[in-house]
Amino acid sequence: MKQGHPLAQISAFSSEILYKLQSELSVTTAEEFVDLSHRLPTAIEVALAIDHARFERLVAASRAVLSKEELREIEQPPENLRILSTGFEPPSNAETYYKGESHDRSKGRTHPVQPDSPRKKSDQD
């Protein structure tokens, strides 16, 4: 079971909203909901198919169960905090498989990879 304040115990959350959050986003705690709502408000509204006023009520209800310290940690994380999507920080001296190049072994070519660069149609073959 996850640590935190369960959304199921907050009356503002209907069973339909709870189901969508859990099944589509794996969100079950107020901490998780406040975090995602802080970082991706429009995406959460769209995912839940709710209007902005209802979204704001859900955020307010979630924030109400958290302490000021918890809210600060969620909404103002340290700038040097860089956690992987797995929830673990990368080791500072780790060897990684990815070295910044893409090797197309089938065609014998090496391509430098630029972050967030769109792939060309020829690269997708």
Domain ranges (residues) in the chain:
7-75
* Euclidean distance between CA atoms 90 and 88, whole angstroms: 6
Residue with tokens 């090496």: 110
CB-based contacts of 22: which residues, under 8 Å, 6+ apart?
28
33, 9 in Cβ contact below 8 A? no
Please list the pLDDT of the chain residue by residue as tens digits (125 residues): 678 999 999 999 999 999 999 999 999 999 999 999 998 999 999 999 999 999 999 999 999 999 999 999 888 876 655 555 555 555 566 665 555 555 555 555 555 545 544 555 554 44
**How confident is the model at residue 16, as a pLDDT?**
96
* Euclidean distance between CA atoms 44 and 56, whole angstroms: 11
Alpha-carbon distance values, 73 to 22, 32, 95, 98 (Å): 23, 12, 30, 31
* pTM score above 0.75: no
**How confident is the model at residue 28, as a pLDDT?**
95
